[in-house]
Amino acid sequence: MSGPLPVAPTTTRLRPLGLSDVRITGGFWRQRQDVNAEATLAHCLDSMERTGWIGNFHAAADGLNRKQRPGREFSDSEIYKLGEAMAWEVGRSGSAVAAAELSKLTEIIRPAQSADGYLNTAFGQPGLPPRYGDLEWGHELYCYGHLIHAGVADARAGANSGLLEVAIRAADHVCRTFGAGGIDGICGHPGIETALVELFRLTGKAQYLDQAAIFVSRRGRGRLADTDFGRDYYQDDIPVRDARVLRGHAVRALYLAAGAVDVAVETGDDALLDAVIAQWDATIARRTYLTGGMGSQHAGESFGDDFSLPPDRAYSETCAAIASVMLSWRLLLATGDPRYADQAERTLFNVVATSPAADGRAFFYTNTLHQRTRGQLPSANTVSPRPSTNLRSSWFEVSCCPTNVARMLASLAGYVASADARGLQIHQYADAEIRTELDSGLPIGVRMRTDYPDDGTVTLEVSDAPPTAVTISLRVPPWADQRATLTEPGGSVRPVRAGTAAVRRVFARGDIIRLKLPMKPRWTVPDPRIDAVRGSVAVERGPLVLCVESVDLPDDSDVGVLRVNPATAPVDRDGSVIVTGELVEPPHARWPYRGAESPDGSASHPIEIPLRPYHSWAERGPSTMRIWLPTA
Amino acid sequence: MSGPLPVAPTTTRLRPLGLSDVRITGGFWRQRQDVNAEATLAHCLDSMERTGWIGNFHAAADGLNRKQRPGREFSDSEIYKLGEAMAWEVGRSGSAVAAAELSKLTEIIRPAQSADGYLNTAFGQPGLPPRYGDLEWGHELYCYGHLIHAGVADARAGANSGLLEVAIRAADHVCRTFGAGGIDGICGHPGIETALVELFRLTGKAQYLDQAAIFVSRRGRGRLADTDFGRDYYQDDIPVRDARVLRGHAVRALYLAAGAVDVAVETGDDALLDAVIAQWDATIARRTYLTGGMGSQHAGESFGDDFSLPPDRAYSETCAAIASVMLSWRLLLATGDPRYADQAERTLFNVVATSPAADGRAFFYTNTLHQRTRGQLPSANTVSPRPSTNLRSSWFEVSCCPTNVARMLASLAGYVASADARGLQIHQYADAEIRTELDSGLPIGVRMRTDYPDDGTVTLEVSDAPPTAVTISLRVPPWADQRATLTEPGGSVRPVRAGTAAVRRVFARGDIIRLKLPMKPRWTVPDPRIDAVRGSVAVERGPLVLCVESVDLPDDSDVGVLRVNPATAPVDRDGSVIVTGELVEPPHARWPYRGAESPDGSASHPIEIPLRPYHSWAERGPSTMRIWLPTA
């Protein structure tokens, strides 16, 4: 069919193209995929060997009595996510190294599995707590979710390390244990729902879909104990189909929503799908950062109230961004609405790409939009607490983000394009070779060439064309509305609106379609209800959110005292975007609130302020940074 | 001397007047003291009986093996804080009920103490963790701190229930166990430092002062394990005398600073005192809310970065406000600088008075400056999680605030006035009878009459006067600078500057001094570096910060869509302060960030906005509320 697919729905409006059908060949994302393959996979493996998280599997296999197990209770999931990343890497590049490492990992994982399929190195072993005694915090089902995703990837990518069999045994155990008549419970951390549906899609066995549907429908009814953050922390406050907005722990909320979409499209449950769509709409309109980041609260790693989006205390977890892309992609396939691809693009360029360092060996866990202090660079091989640093860290006590970035980058080609009965849809722009068969069985192929996001021109050259009329469509982001142009084969040029620009005809090999997106940097203004950024503007250029870093200012000036002049348009110059403004020297007040009649007392002098892509910030050492720029 | 004193330094510049010398006889604070005596003390006692926190002492006395001890590991401290509050109530009003309840409490506490002085119902008992095995989180020394404060109060107030003897046995045990040659440790939660110094002041035994100094000097050197929040969470990152600003958990930081001042003034350690003064200056200038509230982060209940003061995610814990008043008072006594009394006043009226409900049976734990959602009223006798509600709760899982409010209100007269060789200083305004002896042994007395903070006139009538020239001084808050007037005996009137207005003369009985403070409501503008309130203004009236509540708006409109017009002065009308502005109907945007060139799309209509004192908000049921008002 389409080659290795991260998401393979059977009934959605659009049919995704997998890693054999879409090959990213160059540019922004290919460069990151190469770093991922060459550095990140090994870095994650090394880190988990060093921290003992891999050794936990040996200990479990040997039945050791352990009082001092290293790692958090869910550290197994990181090994599975790494396994999934390795499988996609095999699918992406055919890497023999990744295949060999994955086989080794599988041989480490397999012996730790009990005869009945149970598999977790933190529970059910001598000296460790019993199985399923702590569904709130134990994460056992969550870990299975990542195991199953890895097993499915292993099979789909043709790695065939044997991880699928391990995953199936675990999934069968889950169905027996948590199915009708079993434990009437759910996991504190969603994640198994998408995995079970994907296993159903791979194997065709309805029991996995049924079990996923059971988990989705059980949630929201107070089965889990209350927490200091409330039951919304793990979405056990309101049933999925009744909720109106995403809330609580952002990663949990987004994984659950993705699983609910999967269940909805496979069971034809339109009401459930509509509920998630409405939640997505509300979340995008009121609870999402300009970067696409989600989760504004450090406490509980959670969504805050509507419009409570502080840039300086943004949590915006990398994993939440990845989960958001997973959800957007599923909704795009289900509905065909390009808004979901717009959101995925924003999130990919401005959060997912922000997390990993250029060398692929350090990561942001949180992705703040305003860094007030310079912070300190953690030393290599340090295990950092999650929120304690605002510079990229080698590894974390809870280290979900590095392996999540790895699996997303390795499978990214699976989020680029889709097909349907009428033709081919391009959702994301990158140098790529795309070739698939239409429902008719006829082939269609295009070569996509672009320097996006540096440049706004995307050229499609038809490399394979059926002899019948088909539609090739390209997404036009909202910021390009009416300023983008489309050149059809033959040369006719027309302006296009935000949404989808489509060309329908009988294509010939060599036909060229050219989309030109306007890349002039532009001022962006926030909704007045986002109190935390009132009186501020941001600059975007194409899909990229820009920021100012103190290292680019004279004397490494604090970005806290900048003002910009939005009456003057931002301009491109020497690889930066320049805006004009002033540097303020605030008065030395003993009390930071003054009577309106007393003078401000601050002085200022004009300055040119260079802005650069947010995704590359903090690559040059400690710096203060901000995306939202106060106006003069 | 001065009667029951919460803080009794031996060497400070000003000598505090205690509960026999200052009697609050009416008005704002007396009304709250009466509710505290009549409702809050019994409410706290009932709550701790119901939750089993008092029963823990019985169980410890009986040596029961307990797997399921109710309450958090520091719940003993709440019993001690209640005991302290009861003791001050005995000192304040001579209440026989409070004296009897305190005696009962002491008889419950005493049998739980081990022969060697150890006392904690959560450790060192059969089935419970061992003593001092978890200095980071066990709070054993913190609990002693509150026990010792209660014992000192018991003695000073003349309640003499026997609690002082229990406290002394515990303090002696601490000195033996944690002194030179003992455990080289500190408690994760400061608090014992002020207590040991006060016990030294009461008993004259230097070992207590020495032990307090040891605890202060040990801290900041990484003796405690690192946390997810960093070691600054419990101020174990930087030695007290080297730190430049308060940081980490706000209550811990403020209790520690207060203890350091106590140690500094008793040991003549000016460098240590200067260090705390510098930290206070920096904290007031950059890390304090308009209300005086401290601690801007829910995660870690901590101070944030400089100028990171989000109103909608303000933590501003009630206990931090009380600790801030404790610190300000100590610095005022040490230096004589009226700025500390200014800050105490702001904090008392706008945080401490905000916490308890009018009926004294429900409390704010956090004191947000912007409530975005209406929330839900917790039912009576519910044990609420700390940050989960923004309406006053009957009791909390961690219930430090109610008993802290109780002890502060009962001892409030101890924070009103002081004396020195030259005369009498009035720091806080309330109906009160004040009478003391000067250093010369001669008596001085005044009757203070005022409707403050409703009205700005404060009248002092001399009721006792020595035959020599003395100075009576009154604090003039910064907002009254040059707009306040002072009428001297004889009738001459002069404008006075912010700071201290003093009258020196040979007073006669019946002499009148009258201070008139300007009570016209006024606009207040934030420092531009406080990003979270950019483009907003607040209204203050006298010492009170005002707010708007949705219940006062047409149709209970959301306060999120208000705009005010600061060009028009706020006016007093019918018990409210009225400002003009508009109600905005924002557009229904699918994405809350728009290009600067596209139209805003919102409509608005003019409105008069009634403001009321922040301390009384949420007394009329669920409401949205804000202090900072966006400008049109």
Instruction: Concatenate the DSSP letters of all residues of A375-408 into one string.
Output: --PPPTT-EE-TTS-SS-BSEESS-HHHHHHHHH
Substitution target from A244, A531, A585, A625 for chain B, most B beta carbons within 10 A: A531
Contact B262, B11 (CB under 8 A): no
Contacts of B307 in chain A (CB under 8 A): 372, 560, 592
Q: How many Å from the N-terminal Cα to the C-terminal Cα in chain A? A: 57
Which of B575, B36, B95 has its CA nearest to residue B352? B36
Cα nearest neighbour of A371 on chain B = B305
Torsion angle of C-alpha atoms A429, A432, A438, A443, degrees rounded to 10: 150
Note the ipTM here. Answer: 0.95
Which residues 151-190 in chain A show a CB within 8 A of chain B?
none
* Bridge partner list, B626: B370, B548
Residue A545 in tokens: 């959110």
Alpha carbons A236 and A184: distance in angstroms, whole number: 14
Look at residue B320 and give its three-state secondary structure. Answer: helix
Q: What are phi and psi of B505, to 5 degrees?
A: -175, 175
Alpha carbons B31 and A142: distance in angstroms, whole number: 55
CB contact under 8 A, B531 and A388: no
Which DSSP category does B381 fall into? T
- For B290-421, strand residue ranges (E) read 370-371, 383-384, 395-396, 417-419
Residue B516 pLDDT more than 90?
yes
CB contact under 8 A, B566 and A596: yes
* Bridge partner list, B494: B486
Contacts of A630 in chain B (CB under 8 A): 528, 531, 534
CB contact under 8 A, B288 and A592: yes
Interface check for A249 against chain B (CB to CB < 8 A): the answer is no
Which residues 332-371 in chain A show a CB within 8 A of chain B?
339, 370
**Strand bridging mode B544-549 / B536-541:** antiparallel
**Which segments of chain A have a pLDDT < 70?**
1-2, 387-389
Look at residue A64 and give its three-state secondary structure. Answer: coil
Look at residue B470 and give its three-state secondary structure. Answer: strand
Look at residue A594 and give its three-state secondary structure. Answer: strand
Question: What is the number of CB-based contacts under 8 A between chain A and chain B?
Answer: 193
Neighbours of B567 (CB within 10 A): 10
Contacts of A305 in chain B (CB under 8 A): 312, 372-373
Distance from CA of A528 to the nearest CA of B (A): 8
Which residues 408-447 in chain B show a CB within 8 A of chain A?
none
Which DSSP category does B349 fall into? I
CB contact under 8 A, A531 and B533: yes
Q: Return the minimum-mean-pLDDT range out of A88-102, B277-291, B599-613.
A: B599-613
Which of B37, B58, B135 has its CA nearest to residue B411? B37
pLDDT for A177-220, tens place per residue? Answer: 999 999 999 999 999 999 999 999 999 999 999 999 999 999 99
Q: Which residue type does A535 have?
A: G
Q: What are phi and psi of B125, to 5 degrees?
A: -110, 160
Residue B34: which residues within 8 A CB-CB, separation 6 or more? none
Interface check for A586 against chain B (CB to CB < 8 A): the answer is yes
CB contact under 8 A, A536 and B533: no
CB contact under 8 A, A285 and B589: yes
3-state secondary structure A232-283: HHHCCCCCCCCCCCCCCEHHHHHHHHHHHHHHHHHHCCHHHHHHHHHHHHHH
Cα→Cα distances B211→B214, B242, B251, B255, Å = 5, 20, 21, 16
Interface check for B599 against chain A (CB to CB < 8 A): the answer is no
- For A245-396, strand residue ranges (E) read 370-371, 383-384, 395-396
Residue B64 has what pLDDT?
Answer: 85
Distance from CA of B531 to the nearest CA of A (A): 7
Q: How many Å from the N-terminal Cα to the C-terminal Cα in chain B? A: 57
Contacts of A288 in chain B (CB under 8 A): 592
Alpha carbons B311 and B366: distance in angstroms, whole number: 12
Residue A96 in tokens: 């023999």
**Strand bridging mode A625-626 / A576-585:** unpaired
Which of A230, A523, A532 faces B532 most closely, judged by CB atoms?
Answer: A532
CB contact under 8 A, A560 and B630: no
Lookup result for tokens 């348009």: A569
pLDDT confidence bin for B518, thresholds 50/70/90: very high
Number of H helices, E strands in chain B: 14, 25
Helix B140-156, helix B192-203: angle, nearest 10? 30
Look at residue A481 and give its three-state secondary structure. Answer: coil
Residue A311 in tokens: 């840039």
Which of B373, B388, B549, B587 has its CA nearest to residue A305? B373
Cα nearest neighbour of A599 on chain B = B525
Residue B1 has what pLDDT?
Answer: 54
Interface check for A592 against chain B (CB to CB < 8 A): the answer is yes
Which of A472, A460, A629, A614 has its CA nearest to residue A543? A614
Which of B285, B372, B534 faces A590 most closely, judged by CB atoms?
Answer: B285
CB contact under 8 A, A595 and B373: no
Interface check for A311 against chain B (CB to CB < 8 A): the answer is yes
Residue A356 has what pLDDT?
Answer: 98
Which of B232, B398, B395 has its CA nearest to residue B304? B232
Residue A556 has what pLDDT?
Answer: 85
Neighbours of A561 (CB within 10 A): 17
Residue B389 has what pLDDT?
Answer: 60
Lookup result for tokens 């044997």: A162
Q: What are phi and psi of B259, to 5 degrees?
A: -65, -35
Torsion angle of C-alpha atoms B380, B381, B382, B388, degrees rounded to 10: 70
Residue A158 in tokens: 């043709």
Which H or E run contains A431? Answer: strand A431-437
Interface check for A225 against chain B (CB to CB < 8 A): the answer is no
Alpha carbons A136 and A219: distance in angstroms, whole number: 12
What phi-psi label fits residue A360: left (phi over 0), alpha (psi between -120 and 50 degrees) or beta? Answer: left
Which of B290, B306, B388 faces A228 most closely, judged by CB atoms?
Answer: B388
Q: At CA B83, angle to CA B77 and CA B86, rounded to 5? A: 145
DSSP string, A87-140: HHHHHHH--HHHHHHHHHHHHHHGGGS-TTS---TTSSSTTSPPTTS-TTT--H
Contacts of B305 in chain A (CB under 8 A): 312, 372-373
Interface check for B522 against chain A (CB to CB < 8 A): the answer is yes
Residue A315 in tokens: 């949590």
Alpha carbons B90 and B105: distance in angstroms, whole number: 14
Domains and CATH numbers, chain A: 15-369+376-415 (1.50.10), 421-516 (2.60.40), 522-630 (no CATH)
Alpha carbons B232 and B612: distance in angstroms, whole number: 37
Look at residue B475 and give its three-state secondary structure. Answer: strand
CB contact under 8 A, B297 and A297: no
pTM higher than 0.90 for the full model? yes
CB contact under 8 A, A397 and B228: yes
Residue A433 has what pLDDT?
Answer: 98
Which of B308, B524, B529 faces A595 most closely, judged by CB atoms?
Answer: B524
Span B563-588, average pLDDT:
93
CB contact under 8 A, B388 and A560: no
Residue A526: exposure state from Cβ atoms within 10 A (0-12, 13-18, ≥19): buried
Residue B466 in tokens: 């020595």
Q: What are phi and psi of A439, to 5 degrees?
A: -55, -30
Radius of gyration of the CA atoms of chain A, in A:
25
CB contact under 8 A, A388 and B228: yes
Which of A307, A590, A600 faces B560 most closely, judged by CB atoms?
Answer: A307
**Strand bridging mode A423-426 / A470-476:** parallel
Look at residue B571 and give its three-state secondary structure. Answer: strand
Residue A394 in tokens: 């080698």
Contacts of B298 in chain A (CB under 8 A): 297-299
Alpha carbons B276 and B481: distance in angstroms, whole number: 27
Which of A116, A214, A198 has its CA nearest to residue A150? A198
Which of A311, A385, A528 faces B584 most closely, judged by CB atoms?
Answer: A528
Residue A389 has what pLDDT?
Answer: 60
Contacts of B226 in chain A (CB under 8 A): 385
Contact B529, B308 (CB under 8 A): no
Q: What are phi and psi of A265, to 5 degrees?
A: -75, -30
Which residues 365-404 in chain A show a CB within 8 A of chain B?
370, 372-373, 385-388, 397
Alpha carbons B585 and B561: distance in angstroms, whole number: 7
